[in-house]
Amino acid sequence: MFLSVKGLKKAFGDQEVLKDINLEIERGNILTIIGPSGSGKTTLLRCLNALERPDKGTYSFDDGLELHFSDHIKKNDMTRLRLKSGMVFQSYNLFPHKTALENVIEGPLIVQKRNKDAVMTLARDLLEKVGLSDKMDLYPHQLSGGQQQRVGIARALAIQPELMLFDEPTSALDPELVGDVLKVIKDLANEGWTMAIVTHELRFAEQVSDRVLFMDNGYIVEQGSPKDVLRNPSEERTKQFIQRIMNP
């Protein structure tokens, strides 16, 4: 078990967005999170690496790190949590004034203080991995949306995380660009990366996921294997959602 989450809650003012979330992520597995807009999916993902700090809940990692969010958390432990994961955002979030290569080296070089030569070699290898070896010196405005998202994936990989988090990585892309990004994610899945993915691409989720989790109104309504949740859901709310997405 890479990560166990128990009793996770998060509110923004009076709006309770996450309500007693309990889940587990196995090392080397892909957890896909689905659900309607406003169900709490993105907030859950952002809580997993403390971009949003949970109000309550416990995270237990397989290396012994344990965080209780109702208590004071040491700065060092919060840093350890954030370094465990790399985040890929739906809106890319690249630095517009930096080239593709400069975007990828930013985290390991500036934040992690790693050796520059080693980081440059790693960044070039990662950009080649995502099919952008000929785009390294281009700026974000010179790249298509799909290319920018692949830079974002390379940037997240560059910090060498244990967990990759994808927040609807294809939702901002034109339909013809979606396939290139999904192929990169499939390749990472085949390499054994541990991932949590928020997506509306249900057929893709069925192909790559070890577990699928359906959320609605801040709760986990149902979770299980892709076959169980996507093809034979037991909850009526899950059935309604999947029917609407699969047969619009």
Q: Please report the pLDDT score of residue 113 as a whole number.
A: 84
Answer whether residue 48 shows pLDDT above 90: yes
- CATH class of residue range 3-246: alpha beta
Model confidence over 169-192: pLDDT tens digits?
Answer: 998 888 888 889 999 999 999 999
Model confidence over 214-248: pLDDT tens digits?
Answer: 999 999 999 999 999 999 999 999 999 999 887 76
Whether 162 and 84 have beta carbons less than 8 Å apart is answered as yes
Q: Please report the pLDDT score of residue 248 as a whole number.
A: 62
Structural domain boundaries of the chain?
A: 3-246
Whether 125 and 160 have beta carbons less than 8 Å apart is answered as no
Q: What is this structure's pTM?
A: 0.94
User: At a CB cut-off of 8 Å and minimum separation 6, what does 104 contact?
Assistant: 123, 126, 127, 151, 154, 155, 158
- Whether the CA torsion 160, 164, 167, 172 is positive or negative: it is positive
User: At a CB cut-off of 8 Å and minimum separation 6, what does 61 contact?
Assistant: 2, 3, 84
Distances (CA, A) of 62 to 31, 111, 193: 17, 24, 16
Q: How far is CA 84 from the centre of its chain?
A: 12
Model confidence over 57-106: pLDDT tens digits?
Answer: 999 999 999 999 988 899 999 989 998 999 999 888 899 999 999 999 99
Among all chains, which residue has been given the structure tokens 């192929």?
183
